[in-house]
A and B are shown apart, each in its own frame.
Chain A
Amino acid sequence: MSDPRLGPAFLRPGSSSFVDFLAEEAPDLLPHRRALPEGSYAELAPHGTTIVAATFPGGVVMAGDRRATMGNVIAQRDIQKVFPTDEYSCVGIAGTAGIAVEMTRLFQVELEHYEKIEGAVLSTDGKANRLATLIRGNLGMAMQGLAVVPLFAAFDLDAGIGRIFAFDVTGNRNEERAFHSVGSGSTFARGALKKLHRDDLDERGCVTAVVQALYDAADDDTATGGPDLARRIFPLVGVITADGYRELPEDEVASVADAVIAARMHRPDGPVAPLS
């Protein structure tokens, strides 16, 4: 950026993708242009753990616990793992935190860049495909232990529903119907949501269901952080409806979490689902 003039890459007509532009103008800013020496680096940097998302009529809820781990050490107690990516979508990150946060920032700019240049918002499927491309670019590092597996949730303005997309490290994208979870505690969270999630939940009910699921994940997975009562650290919950993305205020999440914990005092395993 030493030359104050706008170079040929800036003035070239054509691409409305920020990633494509960076690849030409400043490739060192792209996360997937770095070659690592051989070996596994899984224990090198903090990992984000569990993300859950669930839909309700008129929207979608995404929540993440606040713990980042490095091997057996808790690297951070209050990490943010759910990020709004534009007005109607958000990403929850699991995997190597540094690369995941960088990828999310790039994805945010990518969506905004397209919107400004084209004067139109990308379709929900278009957004999910762009994210899949970014994940695929990280495959080399994923094979060396630095994997990123985000969960993408969006409110589809055309269809009027909340939608959830899951990805694998190769960039394969799967749309989930009602709920999904990624990260180390995802097995337990998904099990809980199977029993708790219903199609007719309202927003508050859906938030309660994901907080219950995160509690169950923290109960059985050491890498997932439960509600921290002493420090008053609670999961981060984002809600997307036709009005756009909204991060739930801390006191609202705290009241849901307190209700969940109060009930667990009587029954530590959580609410009972009917047998048939």
Chain B
Amino acid sequence: MSMPFYVSPEQLMKDRADFARKGIGRGRSLVVVQYSDGIVFVSENLSQALHKVSEIYDRIAFAAVGRYNEFENLRIAGVRLADMRGYAYDRRDVTGRGLANAYAQTLGTIFSSGGEKPYEVEIFVAEVGDSAEGDQIYRLTYDGQVADEHDFAAMGGSAEPATTYLKEHFTPGADLAASVRLAVQALGQGDGEPREIPSSNLEVAVLDRSRTQQRKFKRLRAAQLQEILGNGGAPGAGPEDDGGGPSTDPSGPDSPTDPTDTAGGDVPPLEDPTTGEPTAPPGDEPPIAPPL
């Protein structure tokens, strides 16, 4: 007769947290910075179609790293919640705090229930106010914890070097161009030399309180971005040259950028079973599909 293994609750939670953290750590980072007219989101994203940063409601935006299918699901749920609340009450009654609460409860329940695997996502919910004092940035982690962030924040694979860089170089009240440049430099920080990220690999969006429209969310177009960054996308650094294309050879390794590419059936384990070291180096391709 086989005996069921006993696993202590501490160990169970720790295992689940490690699992989620490793999934998030494999993705590319995302940085959010407050600037003079609002909040800017900058992430490294090879895809033009699959967004990491999106609009939720008039003044609220959503940014996420981790598994695309999971955070896309949460994004749609957020849009549904915000639209329903705004329709049942009034547009002004939809708040970032309410949305962050709903996400926290949802993620927390999934994390602590034994039935489902925890979501491998980390989320920012940001709301732009009438002035910089009214801006709110919430960070939600895979286990449903909420943190209130100020001035700047980073999440994803190389979040730590990015946060360190932002801590040293952030100045309150900077304009949009300076803030985008700061965020891009922060994203390029890593273990070795800072990388230069071509503007074609960036996804940048703002919540701009100076917009006259009710909806304050706006994506920065490639032309605007090149003007700000001035590097115009280094030649040979386009998404198609990044080695991120889906693998078509069924015997070859699966492309980590393409969640649908499991033909090889050899998605590497999260860690080496003998040494316990992560097999995927930090800053590996994000778990999103390449441009179609």
Contact = CB atoms under 8 A, between A and B. Distances in A.
A4 B102 contact: yes
Interface in B64-98: 73-74, 76-77, 79-81, 83-88
Contact of B81 (A6, A105, A109): A6
Residue among A11, A29, A105, A106 with the most chain B CB within 10 A?
A11
A18 B109 contact: no
Contacts of A18: 80, 83-84, 87
Contact of A117 (B49, B76, B84): B76
Contacts of A106: 87
A6 B102 contact: yes
A105 to B, nearest CB: 7
B36 interface: no
Contact of B87 (A6, A109, A116, A117): A109
A9 B76 CA distance: 11
Interface in B153-193: none
Residue among B80, B102, B103, B106 with the most chain A CB within 10 A?
B80
Interface in A78-128: 105-106, 109, 112-113, 116-117, 119
A88 to B, nearest CB: 13
A25 B79 CA distance: 14
B81 A10 contact: yes
Contact of A21 (B49, B55, B84, B103): B84
B145 interface: no
Contacts, number: 62
Contacts of A6: 74, 77, 81, 102-103, 105-106
Contact of B56 (A11, A26, A116): A116
B88 A113 contact: no
A163 to B, nearest CB: 23
Nearest to A112: B83
Nearest to B98: A4
Contacts of B106: 5-6, 11
A65 B101 CA distance: 45
B218 interface: no
A13 interface: yes
B288 to A, nearest CB: 14
Interface of B: 49, 51, 54-56, 73-74, 76-77, 79-81, 83-88, 101-103, 105-106, 109
Interface of A: 1, 4-6, 9-11, 13, 18, 21-22, 25-26, 29, 105-106, 109, 112-113, 116-117, 119
28 contacts: A4-B101, A4-B102, A4-B105, A5-B102, A5-B105, A6-B77, A6-B106, A9-B80, A10-B81, A11-B73, A11-B76, A11-B106, A13-B73, A18-B80, A18-B83, A18-B87, A26-B84, A26-B88, A29-B88, A109-B83, A109-B86, A109-B87, A113-B80, A116-B54, A116-B55, A116-B56, A116-B79, A119-B54
Given A6-B106, A116-B79, 13 more contacts: A6-B77, A6-B103, A6-B105, A10-B80, A10-B81, A18-B83, A21-B80, A21-B84, A22-B84, A25-B80, A25-B84, A26-B88, A109-B83
